[in-house]
Structure 1
Amino acid sequence: MKLAIPKERPDGETRVAASPETVKKFVGLGVDVVIETGAGDAAALPDTVFTEAGAKIGASLEETLKDADLVFKVRGPSDEELGLMKQGAVLAATLNPYDNKDRLKTYADKGITTFAMELMPRITRAQSMDILSSQSNLAGYKAVVNAAAHYSRAFPMMMTAAGTIAAARCFVMGVGVAGLQAIATARRLGAVVSATDVRSATKEQVESLGASFVMVESEESGDAAGGYAKEMSEDYQRRQAELVASHIKKQDVVITTALIPGRPAPRLLTEEMVKTMKPGSIIVDLAAERGGNCELTEPGQIVRKHGVTIIGELNLAGQLATDASALYAKNLFNFIAPHLDKESGQLTIDWEDETVTGTALTREGRVIHPSFTEGGN
């Protein structure tokens, strides 16, 4: 069986869907791994590290994808890549189906079996396959590092002969994987950290990291299926906005992480709230790719509004490309390896497996995921 790893071509995408570790493991299972030349350059993974692990290097995209049974990518395939894939090939990547529903028919018409890795169900067994968790963890860390780089003061309290410098106050909005890592990183840098989330169950996690928890007092639950947060009532949102507005005036750094799969990012920070923040404050909006949690966020840009620096950079995990690639590649390996026949090295997908049914978009010329078939969401 041939596994192909093309070079990622979208602007700003530095990751690659393979690592020397996963290449070695696939080769050990009898899989021929072909990686397009230069695919790992932006992640500090030159061709030599892959050849040493047992991979072959494809001199071109066409050579890499020719007759590939399995294709791993970070982003969804371009028309050119799709055109070079054979009928019946299996593709695993971040396919963003909620924003690209029309694209699913293209995959089906091509006869490609596709798996959207970001749809991995939030179950214990699938944690090692969860690309959202692995990449969000790095994004939460990088958000704090970037905030510190743009902040004109120090994060930790410092007592010097010339006077005392107060610790920075950091407020994290949304306590998922990214939020928890942001809290931990800000604490390690010496900031005084507080956090909020609509899910009351996150309070214990926040406090275990040494941060204080800020939440609207309500009987309304923000817990949704799969560990996600759900959209709250208008009354709750109004009360939350009032709470945030009063809290944010005292903060130096605000990191927002609130996302609901398949929907625009909820607006948590209005322009009026930003105006009340101290000059020199920083906002890092991790939801910029879906419009942003802050009203003034400009996706892909770093802007200064009302004396506040608003960081709306995309693909923060990609700024840590070596680690992000290694984790992403391991997620892919953990997903596919159980379906590889150890005798023949061939792919025999168990279509009853929860991780398969949760991520499969197309199969045998049809769109099969219930969320995207007729009558789906």
Structure 2
Amino acid sequence: MRNIPIAVPCIGQEEVEAVREVLMSGWLTQGPRVKAFERAFAVRHRVEHALATTSCTTALHLALASLGIGPGDEVVVPAFTWIATANVVTHLGATPVFADVCRDTYNIDAAQLSGLITPRTKAVIVVHLFGLCADMEAVRKAVPPGIPIIEDAACAAGASYHGVPAGALGTIGCFSFHPRKSITCGEGGMLTTNDAAIAARAEILRNHGASIPEEVRHAGLRPWEMPDFDVAGYNYRMTDMQAAVGLVQLGRLDGFIAERQKLAALYDKLLAQIEWIRPPKVPTGYGHAWQAYVTLIDKDKSPLDQNSVLARLAEKGIGGRAGTHAVTRLGAYRGRSNAIQGGFPVADELDAWTMALPLHNKMTESDVEYVVEVLKGL
């Protein structure tokens, strides 16, 4: 039977050799390769500062902590996203305030923001879901000056909005290098910003709160002297092994996106023959990164419900998934803050009826054709 996973990391000999060089160098933790990865990522995404972290989740947590967000504060987040977007708010003692999303793009509905922002609102998190940027112009118009906008760009390395890269569209951007993302180093993340003060605070907090990074101290004239610790920070440092892989992957990012774009275009063409599946929509001026190809099942026309469709795909060796979840329906948040039942009709629909089809850089056009033929036969 054919086997087409939902995602497969595209790792080759160049990544293997890059890791080998780091292992032989003797410097394994955050060091010169991390610094090189940060510089290259900043250049690619047209930002002044990029700081590597252990994951996008820790990058988001670091972003909020760098802004001083804590108990009593509110942060607006989309209702349809991975749970980490809300969790980082909760971990700092702040309150996530949920906004519904747009049915066409799956991203935050900017029209709702004015009704959710209060004197306690200290940030708005927008998610560039599945690699498509949120409508940042509409978001900026809706968010009062002085309230930071954080981009959860976990899926959006290489994405753009009217020519501006993800990560350079808000106050802070946060990226993921998980194996389901377009580029990967296993686990890992990146925080981007054009604000030097935020970058400086984030760098200190990332390394336990140390006043001087270890790689700087070790390269100095008195490496034996311990740094000062004026704040209680975190250990969110990336290893040089991960960064070595990330550097190679970053060099392949644009090629990866181009390959995925061709596969997505073929999906679009072939799925037009199935009336109960709506392909993802890409507005004019948006550069989709195609981390995932997420469709919407028409509940009134579909022969089966979401889970039944996914189960039938699995029987044929196809690794489909739900798009993501409505955080407001999860036990950790159900009934909390403004997460009231029925308050997020679009997020609820997407939770129940989105379907991610396989999309990765080891797929062939024949694989896409097979997936669509199976869907036609349901």
TM-score by length of 1: 0.28
TM-score by length of 2: 0.28
Higher relative contact order (CA 8 A, sep 6+): 2
